[in-house]
Amino acid sequence: MATIPTQALAAPRVSQEPSTQHCNNVEFIGARGSGQPYTGKGSFGGLGPEVSKMVGVIKAQLKQKKFSYGTDALSYPAISDSTLIPSAAELALILSGDPQGITDYINDNLDKFTASINKGVNDAISDINSYHKLCGATIYVLVGYSQGAMVMHAAETSLDTKSHLGVFKKIAGTVLLADGYRVPHTKARQFGTSKTSGEGIESWFFGPGRDVPGPGTTANICDANDFVCDFSRDTFLHISGDLKIHSGYTHCDSKEQCTSQKVLTTASTWVGNAVIKRLDNMAR
């Protein structure tokens, strides 16, 4: 089975708690993509360009309806996706069908790529629980890219338990971009050019884990041949190109002016509509 974390461990808080004088209608929990630097400053606010774009789309919808919102950017390690590039020796063994190649790749590459995810999951769960204690009426939108999408997938899985059920029910929408835990034929609403049978890199190596527990309000975005979310054995034959697909959902110049694929807006708008519907129902 895919190694999706199922329990939060003790972890230091990395984000500020909301003021007891002001509880937002919506709190965004965002996790940037692999290799993207964390900073609380600048136009991306620690989210990275892709997550910042998707959060921004939903914020615009909320602002139009006069709903308040806040943002929590998780500062987990998010190591680079270049870690997934196998050595020449590993690649030769993999392509020859030698199982040792797969074993070496898991130990030397894949495990390193996923190592930071547990901390992100722990931080997400800790933050949501802290918010919930202070602001019981606030609902949450989870947004992540690459390892960040894996963080959100695993956090939702962990929260969908008896001990966290009250908090889990407050998750009103999720946007997963290039999720390495993606299962074939996920019940989440799928966006992007990959086939519905596509699966994430962790699912391919270890077998599908648990699908997202809130599929009716979860958007799963993945383009065909994305190294992380649409993995297959053929991926090893086209590593360079498939990694470019994985990192190609936005293009930013040196001034952090970014052009994003239309699919990010389309998927985020779909989730935003579900969030607003939830808020409207709460107001009745």
Sequence-separated (6 or more) residues with CB below 8 Å from residue 158: 5, 6, 7, 8, 121, 125, 164
Residue 64 predicted with pLDDT over 50: yes
Q: Which residue ranges form the domains of the chain, and what is each CATH number?
A: 26-82+115-231+240-283 (3.40.50.1820)
Q: In Å, what is the CA distance from 169 to each residue of 64, 139, 182? A: 25, 9, 22
The yes-or-no verdict on residue 5 having pLDDT over 90 is no
> What's the longest Cα–Cα distance across the chain?
63
CB 44 within 8 A of CB 249: no
- pTM, two decimals, is 0.91
Integer Cα distance of 40 and 215 in angstroms: 30
CA-CA distance, 8 to 164, in Å (whole number)?
11
Q: What is the pLDDT of residues 85-143, one digit of tens each?
A: 999 999 999 989 899 999 999 999 999 988 889 999 999 999 999 999 999 999 999 99
